[in-house]
Structure 1
Amino acid sequence: MKTLAYSGNFGSIKKLKLDNSEAVLGSMMTDRLSALPDEILGYMLSFLTLRDSVRTRLLSARWRYLSDYRCVLHFDALNVLGNENNNRELYQSKFVSVVDHYLEIWKGWNLSALKIHFCLHNKHALHIDKWVESGIRMEVEDLDLRFPSTNPEERYVLSDQLFHSGKAFSFKCLRLRYCTLTFSSGCTSWISCLATLELYFVPLCQEDIECLMSGGLNLTSLSLVHCFNTDISSVIELPRLKKLFLNNTFTKIELKCPNLESLKCEGRVDYFKFSNVPLLKNVNLRLQYHYRGCSLTFEDLAIHAPKLQKLSLLVMTLVQPRPANNSLCLKRLELLTDVPTGFDLFTITSLLNASPFLEILHLQLRMRNYTKQSPHIEYSDCPHLNLKEVKIDGFRRWWNEMELARYLLKNAVALERMVIVCLCDCSSTIDGSVSSYCSSIREEIATTLLRDMKTSTELVFTTPIPCSVSNGWDISNYGVRVFCGE
């Protein structure tokens, strides 16, 4: 029951009773947040940005001296300046002074990670060196420096001399982007402590890569992206490496990593050799040019990567893989390739035949205006017992995609779904006759493929962009659905 007694007007309230208890009002006015223990309040502050955390402490004299229980110091435009769009040279001086102040506050704390992401140059090297030294004193395990700069000559130069102190051996992860790293001759002790090394746009020479290979025996993850201005030849022999990402130009790469599980390589490679990768499960190759060992790679994988389950391969020219004595254990194959007019797409069937456990096939074709006539080869039907999903992207009817699609519909015993992505230009035209022509072509292709379909298979026929004429059919007598357009 609520009662309100007043005299005159509402501004002169004399007495307030809530449920006949004045004590309830007192409990409602209590600051429950300030009643929390210091440890919980400090933990809550750690979820705020550094800037907001400092401002929040000004709300109360008690909060001003609370400890911040964050284990990661992340300095970027949003955390320091309150606006992620302020990552510009105009704010460099302010950013540097604020970081100096914050690190002075956190002096003496043990942190797990120190991350500094801002547009800084080598003219701030004295401050950055002090920040790295502060991270070493705080025994951080993860050091992440990212200083975007359009001019390579202005980039911050990090000397590994900073890592020669005793506490630097706490480093387990080093991430550098848009920096320059200098190596002391013959000193690789700090590299041997690293488990993760990521270098992006960090210039390296042949001697530097040899230093990394000889010192990084405990690395489990290695990323080298756009680090070389000249061709590099390397034998990567790291016994504990599990994850490798390369994006550079190599004259030769040979892998001898017995614990490697995942490989991603982009760029140009003249020679690629798998020697000792028994645990390799995932391979993603995006190579700009056809390298000499392309067909040899399939044989290498069959012999040296018996547990390989996913292969994603981009080559400029699809070549005929030579038959291998060993079968691949692939479950997913993604093949992205340039195919000239006149090329026989049935060459991939030899790779399919060498992968009896394959479940998913994604074939992406890119049109090329030159002609390369393949030699005539007779291909016999071969059942694919585990293939469940097929996607052919770039379908134009210029090559023999139709024959390949029909082959897969006939021989993929367990096929559940086939997706045909047909390139279509009718959306850029206004003439309705052109759109009708594209639609009729697609309908003709779908009707032809239906002849070889099983009742348990779904055929999806679509375009990479919404077509101006989209049709959908429910073909009940086949027990499947065919979609035209998205």
Structure 2
Amino acid sequence: MSQKSKPGGITARITYNNCFQWKNKLASYLALKLLHPYRPTAPQQTASMSHLEHSNSPVTKEVGITGGNYTTKRRRSKSNSRRIRQRQLDFQSIIPCKVNIQSLPEDIALRITSKLTLKEAAQMCVLSSTWRQACVFHPNLYFGIQTVLGSRANTELIFTDPRKRMLTTNKFIERVDAILKNHCTTQVNKFAIEFGLSTEHASHINRWVSFAIASKARVVVLNLSPNKSALDRDNYDFPFQLFDGHSGSHLQALQLHWVTLGPPPDFCGFANLKMLDLVFLIVSQDLQHLLSKCCVLEWLRIRLCFFQLPSLSSLCVQEPLYRLQYLCVEDCAFREIEFHAPNLMTFEYKGSRTLINLNECLKLKTATIRLYLNDTLEYVLTWIPCILPQVDTLSVKLRISSKMSGFTQPPLKFIQLRHLTMEITSCCDPNSVFQLAFLLEAAPLLEDLHFDMFGFDLCHGDLDDIMDLPHYHLKIVCIDGFYGTAGQVGLAKYIFKNALALEHLIVKPGWKLKLPTSTSTGYERYGRQEANKKLVPLDTNSVLTIL
């Protein structure tokens, strides 16, 4: 027997034998609290439950049930406080009955168990005989290496030793099968598998997918990538044959990592799928055929996509996706990307130069473009306005390798662009930063401009090739990574001179790349000195801030 001192001078005595009773009563209280319309209406019990719900001390998430004085947030008189101090919480009178989860309606059981994680539900099964079925009623089934094999599972050891990996994989499969065999609910909200599996385990994964279909799961996650080598292309083939018009109608979100996609020509699609996340794919059939069968799709991401045949490297979805609002394509070698999505609002692209057709996406307002190629800013000023003419907020990451020659004005303009962030890495010609002055002409309505600059060396230069052009909307400019190169100083001078509505020019000295502390501090100190010497005298309107 142990003693623990509680607030207010009250000592609670809890033994090992009755800890199960406290846990059982807590589970019963949770059920009664959630089942408000089903509570007994006896006066004594109703009053007691009211005291328990408004009490601050007895129930906490970390400790569970503790002893202590009854407290209230109401203003207390002396007599009322004395009366409250004399009353102690009696759980035996407050909760005279037990609630068996097996006796509850299924929707109520789902509501209760959904408040717990799968691991907590399993612990409740062990600690309370009344709640022995809590785990098998759980609506969110997440099977990961830590969840199934325990928090002490050494991931690195398991997946570096082939024999250990095989034993661990077999144990993982056996435990998942055991849980699903005993699961008795007819509806699952989320079904997730996150474990490194491949095509040799297809029969087990197909069985689990069939369970998700039979239980009408709304969210299905198959992440088969944990601890797999990037060279391992022995991907599991997603079983499109298990889905038909009826079985796939409940699916609303599908996340597939490290699988092979080969939808057959007669695949009927997912009628109610709203979210599709595809990562590290091998495409064996036309991917656009799958997307064209997802008519209500709202969110789509395709990342790290590989093709078995060169003819499959085109992503042109001819069927209109009227509900698509978010589209992300990253690290894929698509030769062409075309979507008809009139309600698309956000577009993200990461990769090399390719043909992108989003001309019908007139509501597209936010875009992020990250390019691999070493090119001049001319490509950005001619390509992005062509594919994103209506964009309002744009983030661009690029490398500038050389100075533009013979480029005097941008042929196309951002007609709606107001917020622009640019992450720029310059090499070969540090003076290429001068080209950024063309942005003021390319975006006449620009209001907010933020530069993140990497890799600029000290050099000398001028802006003779760029003609002054007044800008009437630019209000805020930030130059992060400033350390006094001629290009950076010249760009700041150009902004001072031509941004007539400028309110804030924020300069943050420093070197953005990782360097030893002493070297980084030296660049920051030098950048601050250059800013004070060359920019402060130009600040006639008191808009300059040096961080």
What aligned pairs does 1:312-461 form with structure 2 within 5 A after superposition? 312-317=395-400, 322-324=409-411, 327-339=414-426, 340-341=428-429, 343-367=431-455, 377-388=465-476, 390-412=477-499, 413-423=501-511, 428=516, 439=525, 442-453=528-539, 456-460=542-546
Q: Cα deviation per residue 1:300-332 (whole Å; 9 max; x = unaligned)?
A: 25xx643x2211122333765953566522222
Does residue 1:77 correspond to 2:145, yes or no? yes
Name the residue aligned to 1:7: none
| Cα shift at 1:183 | 2.2
In structure 2, what residue type is equivalent to 1:27? D
What aligned pairs does 1:53-202 form with structure 2 within 5 A after superposition? 53-66=121-134, 70-83=138-151, 85-87=153-155, 88=158, 89=165, 90-148=167-225, 149-150=228-229, 152-164=232-244, 166-184=246-264, 186-202=265-281
Q: Hey, what's the Cα distance between the residues in 1 that align with 2:339 and 2:422?
A: 22
Q: Give the count of matched residue pairs.
A: 435
Describe the shift of the 1:334–1:436 C-alpha distance in structure 2 as closer, same or farther (beyond 3 A): closer
| Cα shift at 1:193 | 4.3
Does residue 1:287 correspond to 2:375, yes or no? no
| Cα shift at 1:402 | 0.1
Name the residue aligned to 2:328: 245
| Cα shift at 1:245 | 0.9
In structure 2, what residue type is equivalent to 1:189? C
**Residue among 199, 213, 219 paired with 2:297:** 219
Larger mean Cα displacement after TM superposition, 402-411 or 343-352? 343-352
**Residue among 282, 285, 288 paired with 1:203:** 282
In structure 1, what residue type is equivalent to 2:279? Y
CA contact (8 A) 1:409 1:452 kept: yes
Q: Cα deviation per residue 1:413-442 (whole Å; 9 max; x = unaligned)?
A: 2423513333289974879xx977973563
Q: Cα deviation per residue 1:70-104 (whole Å; 9 max; x = unaligned)?
A: 43211112332331745542422222112112212
CA contact (8 A) 1:263 1:282 kept: yes
Describe the shift of the 1:459–1:242 C-alpha distance in structure 2 as closer, same or farther (beyond 3 A): same
Secondary structure in 2 matching 1:400: helix
Does residue 1:265 correspond to 2:349, yes or no? yes
Consecutive unaligned residues in structure 2, runs of 5 or more: 1-8, 10-68, 70-81, 159-164
CA contact (8 A) 1:424 1:438 kept: no
Describe the shift of the 1:436–1:387 C-alpha distance in structure 2 as closer, same or farther (beyond 3 A): closer
Describe the shift of the 1:296–1:448 C-alpha distance in structure 2 as closer, same or farther (beyond 3 A): closer
In structure 1, what residue type is equivalent to 2:344? L
| Cα shift at 1:33 | 9.7
Does residue 1:228 correspond to 2:311, yes or no? no
Secondary structure in 2 matching 1:288: strand
Q: Hey, what's the Cα distance between the residues in 1 that align with 2:218 and 2:193?
A: 14
| Cα shift at 1:170 | 1.9
| Cα shift at 1:127 | 1.5
CA contact (8 A) 1:299 1:324 kept: no
Secondary structure in 2 matching 1:364: strand
The structure with the greater share of residues assigned to strand is 1
Q: Cα deviation per residue 1:257-293 (whole Å; 9 max; x = unaligned)?
A: 2221111111223333442220111111111116896
Describe the shift of the 1:30–1:204 C-alpha distance in structure 2 as closer, same or farther (beyond 3 A): same
In structure 1, what residue type is equivalent to 2:473? L
Name the residue aligned to 1:473: none
Question: What is the alpha-carbon root mean square deviation over aligned residues?
Answer: 3.9
| Cα shift at 1:35 | 4.9
Describe the shift of the 1:305–1:451 C-alpha distance in structure 2 as closer, same or farther (beyond 3 A): same
| Cα shift at 1:364 | 2.7
Describe the shift of the 1:393–1:31 C-alpha distance in structure 2 as closer, same or farther (beyond 3 A): same
In structure 2, what residue type is equivalent to 1:360? D
In structure 2, what residue type is equivalent to 1:333? L
Q: Hey, what's the Cα distance between the residues in 1 that align with 2:434 and 2:538?
A: 18
Q: Hey, what's the Cα distance between the residues in 2 that align with 1:181 and 1:84?
A: 34
- Return the TM-score normalized by structure 1: 0.76
Calculate percent identity across the aligned residue pairs.
22
| Cα shift at 1:131 | 0.7
- Return the TM-score normalized by structure 2: 0.68
Secondary structure in 2 matching 1:245: strand
| Cα shift at 1:105 | 2.4
